[in-house]
Amino acid sequence: MNKITRRQALGTTAGALTVLGLAGATAHAAVTRSRSAAPATPAGTVDEVYQGRRIRIVPASGGTGDHGGHHGGHQSPGQPTVLIDGRELHVMRNADGSWISVVNHYETFSGPLPLARAAVRELQGASLVPMGGM
Amino acid sequence: MTIRKNQASLTPEEKRAFTAALLELKRTGRYDRFVTTHNGFIMSDTDSGDRVGHRSPSFLPWHRRFLLEFEAALQAVDPAVALPYWDWTADRTARSSLWAADFLGGTGRARDGQVLDGPFAYAAGKWEIAVRVDGRSYLRRALGTGVAQLPTRAEVDSVLAMPVYDAAPWNSSSGGFRNHLEGWRGANLHNRVHVWVGGQMATGVSPNDPVFWMHHAFIDKLWADWQALHPQSAYLPAAGTANVVDLHDTMRPWNDVTPADMLDHRKFYTFDTEPVPAPAGAAASQR
């Protein structure tokens, strides 16, 4: 199993991820989860190439509550960080435990991974605009 | 007095005036500020924190005020223009005149979702998507792809029949009329229409597609229809609710308007077909 640490995941540059993404072509890499799907953890660490795009999901650090401000941009408390080719996708958890993202904001998903894959399909190869850089 | 009409009944001249006013707001940069405002709220409104524009009781008064501001901007360009509404229970296919080249243009092409006809096609040179979440600067749609069917009249009527405006916990998990109309629960009305259109309409920057205004003008009309069906039902919550806009709380970003100020649309505009108030005690049996 590919054991990538959170620090490594966050430290990888967008450029390197793009290269990896291109090299991955349309192959679907195996999903790597750092933990088995424990119910208390809404999202495990994910690192996969999906339709040629590198998806990384880093679970929220510290605390389990999803209360508090939702400021986006940088790992809001209780929210995982979802990266597509190194660019962060704005995500939000609904009260019923389902998820939405800024590119599918009126459609709910069962977790960050199906949400990230839907975003890749929606993007059709386009790059996310860096959050807060609009 | 502004009269909001069903888009299907607009004359060719009314369509020309409406699209010309949209293009002028776009040219001056005014249009994109509305897109920015909407996206800011949709990203910050959360079920467990402050929520104003979406997933909360103020979804309806917030969008009523937002549309009023937009309509005023259109009327500053052309005083004869009013926001049309799109009754998607009636005009429910991609072949509707709404999507013709003389109005909003049609669906996007398969390869990249790009809209290729109508005044808002990228190639026409007057509708660049500037406020965006990804690199694409052309208007996109995928009519009927994300979800096959628009809501039906029967589904709308089942939601209009709900007598309670909204309920704790006042978010996307609530029972009541507001959340069923918004679509986080039940038949899914408003949210589903965004998904049916696809492209930017399915994203946080959904006002990039001019159909946004006509969709929300119909949602707004359904609120008025609901009020006529349930004259005894009030906006809720009334007071003292954390993170939520109560009846007399002011709403961001204006800070000078409350849900109470927005309850009677006839202060601002009428519809081509005004809802008829239900006789007392007969609300549930209407329609």
How far apart (Å, rounded) are the C-alpha atoms in residues B119 and B75?
19
Instruction: Provide the 10 A C-beta neighbour count for residue B154.
Output: 10
Q: Which residues are registered as beta bridge partners of B50?
A: none
Chain B residues with CB-CB distance to A104 below 8 A? 195, 202-203
Query: What is the total residue count of chain A?
Result: 134
Amino acid A132: pLDDT: 56
Those residues of chain B that have pLDDT short of 50 are 283-287
Interchain CB distance below 8 Å, B112 and A124: yes
- On whether any CB of chain B is under 8 Å from the CB of A7, the answer is no
Amino acid B282: pLDDT: 52
- On whether any CB of chain A is under 8 Å from the CB of B36, the answer is yes
- On whether any CB of chain B is under 8 Å from the CB of A107, the answer is yes
Q: What is the ipTM of this complex?
A: 0.92
Burial of A61 (0-12, 13-18, 19+ CB in 10 A): exposed
Instruction: Provide the 10 A C-beta neighbour count for residue B56.
Output: 27
How far apart (Å, rounded) are the C-alpha atoms in residues A99 and A119?
12
Amino acid B279: pLDDT: 67
Lookup: tokens for A114: 């199906």
Amino acid A77: pLDDT: 60
Interchain CB distance below 8 Å, A90 and B204: yes
Amino acid B280: pLDDT: 60
Instruction: Provide the 10 A C-beta neighbour count for residue A38.
Output: 8
- The size of the A-B interface in CB pairs under 8 A is 87
3-state secondary structure of B77: helix
Q: Which residue type, as a one-letter code, is found at position A49?
A: V
Nearest to B44 among A70, A103, A134 (CB): A70
Using CA coordinates, name the residue in chain B closest to A92. Answer: B46
- Find out whether the peptide bond into B210 is cis, omega within 30 degrees of 0: no
Contact B170, B48 (CB under 8 A): no
Contact B272, B9 (CB under 8 A): yes
∠ at Cα B132 (B262, A69), nearest 5°? 60
How far apart (Å, rounded) are the C-alpha atoms in residues B135 and B127?
15
Chain B residues with CB-CB distance to A102 below 8 A? 39, 42-43, 133, 203-204
Contact B181, B221 (CB under 8 A): no
| DSSP secondary structure code for residue A105 in this structure | E
- Dihedral over alpha carbons B40, B43, B47, B51 (to 10 degrees): 0
Interface test with A, best of B38, B133, B194 (most A CBs within 10 A): B133
Min Cα separation B226/chain A (Å): 23
Mean pLDDT by 10 residues, chain A (134 residues): 40 37 35 44 78 95 45 56 96 96 96 97 94 54
Q: What does DSSP say about strands B2-4 and A87-89: parallel, antiparallel, or unpaired? A: unpaired
Interchain CB distance below 8 Å, A96 and B172: yes
- Find out whether the peptide bond into B253 is cis, omega within 30 degrees of 0: yes
Chain A residues with CB-CB distance to B39 below 8 A? 102, 134
Lookup: tokens for B56: 């909360």
Nearest to B49 among A69, A122, A127 (CB): A69
Amino acid B275: pLDDT: 85
Using CA coordinates, name the residue in chain A closest to B169. Answer: A95
Contact A86, A59 (CB under 8 A): no
3-state secondary structure of A58: strand
Amino acid B219: pLDDT: 98
- On whether any CB of chain A is under 8 Å from the CB of B130, the answer is no
- pLDDT (tens digit per residue) in A8-42: 433 333 333 333 333 333 333 334 444 444 444 44
Interchain CB distance below 8 Å, B173 and A95: yes
Q: Could you tell me the end-to-end alpha-carbon distance of chain A, in angstroms, rounded to an integer? A: 37
* CA dist A88 → A54, A82, B37, B45, B280 (Å): 12, 6, 21, 19, 53
Amino acid A1: pLDDT: 38
Chain A residues with CB-CB distance to B190 below 8 A? 106
Min Cα separation A132/chain B (Å): 10
Min Cα separation B190/chain A (Å): 9
How far apart (Å, rounded) are the C-alpha atoms in residues A58 and A7?
10
3-state secondary structure of B174: coil
- On whether any CB of chain A is under 8 Å from the CB of B46, the answer is yes
Nearest to B195 among A69, A106, A123 (CB): A106
Chain B residues with CB-CB distance to A127 below 8 A? 134-135
Instruction: Provide the 10 A C-beta neighbour count for residue B1.
Output: 7
Q: What does DSSP say about strands A53-58 and A81-84: parallel, antiparallel, or unpaired? A: antiparallel
Residue in the structure block whose two tokens are 């054991």: A3
3-state secondary structure of B222: helix
Going by C-alpha positions, the residue among B196, B193, B191 that lies closest to residue B179 is: B191
How far apart (Å, rounded) are the C-alpha atoms in residues B118 and A94?
37
Lookup: tokens for B14: 């009314």
Query: Cα Rg for chain B, rounded, in angstroms?
Result: 18
Interchain CB distance below 8 Å, B133 and A122: no
